[in-house]
Amino acid sequence: METRALQGFRSVRGHAAPIALLRRALLHGRVASAYLFAGPQGVGKDLVAHALAQTANCLAGPEACGACDRCRRIAAGIFVDLVVVQRELRDTATAKDREESADARHEDLDAKKLRQEIVVEQVDEVLKRLAFRPHEQGTRWILVREADRMNASAANKLLKTLEEPPTDTHFVLLSHRPSALLPTIRSRCQTVNFGPLDDADVSDVLRGLGLDDAHVRDLLPLAEGSVGRALVYKDPTRLAARKKLLDEMLAALRTPGVVVGSFADLGIRFKDPPEKPGQFGKTELDETLLLLLRHLRSESLAAVRAGAAPRQAVVNAVRADIVRETLELLDGATAFNAGVHLQAMLVRLREARA
């Protein structure tokens, strides 16, 4: 992954404003004890957090050299004073899953193999270390990926530490749903906002990962500024399956009088997590709804460009809100409830008016 060859902020594409802010903080010795990196998934928040820890700890400086002992160990993920907290694998994970996950960054893991929440034991584990000074004589960094996934007791435990942070220790909370964090946690952090990447940056990163030009061209419109999202659709078979489901949803919406009563009516075999090809779980539904959002946006754009009345664009904006609400609801829903939410969504989409 990119972190292997990490050379501080130079390894990051885009995000000029957040990086300028962090560089200033480093330069003036005013690095916050806790940051909240807020912004879309898959745009590089994690990479920036690693680059920050590397720059703060580099033995050469002021920019991370990428070559000193600490820079190399941070890049290799073996720096004792950089601790990553993230959702753990479910108990049902196989030995192969564990082997794969040991070496993977969180967003590379299959979401359905992960636990729903970050639990208090994980936070305890990290806080125990804080009783000691950093091992490496530098600064210590605690990264919490998908911080909004901390359950209430984990969040409250962390909050106590954020209120009285130990010296030489910095927290970076990463979240694409910052509003789902406890307000008390948010107020203890300096928020750094990340936006989507430019298409040129997404292309460069994808090419850097070894994708050929044709593949990058296909994925770019789906990426919407997120490398992570582009990679979700990297497998053409997987993308085709999502598009098929999307077409079925759109057809059901267009056919007047059709009452969508169940997944089966839509040709969806719902099983979370899926056990065989052709079955859809929550991850697959999420990915399909993101395609639906994109479809609504491009339909609106086309309508506006064709000089048509703006009605279609307004209806689609209402529909996009409904889809986004459903995505929030699906996050953390049981399989049964996921079905209920999806059906409710289809009914609301059909009824949506300007």
Per CB under 5 A, residues contacting Zn ion are 58, 60, 65, 68, 71
The smaller minimum CB distance to Zn ion, of residues 73 and 106, is found at: 73
Tokens representing residue 79 in the block: 């720096």
The smaller minimum CB distance to Zn ion, of residues 69 and 121, is found at: 69
Q: For the chain, first and last CA: distance in Å? A: 45
Type of residue found at 141: W
The smaller minimum CB distance to Zn ion, of residues 58 and 330, is found at: 58
Give the shortest CB-194-to-Zn ion separation in angstroms.
Answer: 24
Give the shortest CB-324-to-Zn ion separation in angstroms.
Answer: 42
Give the shortest CB-71-to-Zn ion separation in angstroms.
Answer: 3
> For the residues of 291-331, what is the DSSP string, one character each?
HHHHHHHHHHHHHHHTT--THHHHHHHHHHHHHHHHHHHHT
Measure the CA angle with vertex 108, ends 102 and 110; round to 5°: 90
Give the shortest CB-1-to-Zn ion separation in angstroms.
Answer: 19
Cβ atoms of 141 and 83 within 8 Å: the answer is yes
DSSP H or E segment with residue 352: none
Give the shortest CB-54-to-Zn ion separation in angstroms.
Answer: 7
The smaller minimum CB distance to Zn ion, of residues 74 and 323, is found at: 74
DSSP 118: B
The smaller minimum CB distance to Zn ion, of residues 7 and 326, is found at: 7
Give the shortest CB-56-to-Zn ion separation in angstroms.
Answer: 10
Question: Taking each helix axis from N to C terminus, what angle separates 199-208 and 213-223, rounded to the nearest 10 degrees?
Answer: 140
Q: Nearest-CA neighbor of 145 among 100, 101, 99, 177?
A: 177
The smaller minimum CB distance to Zn ion, of residues 27 and 60, is found at: 60
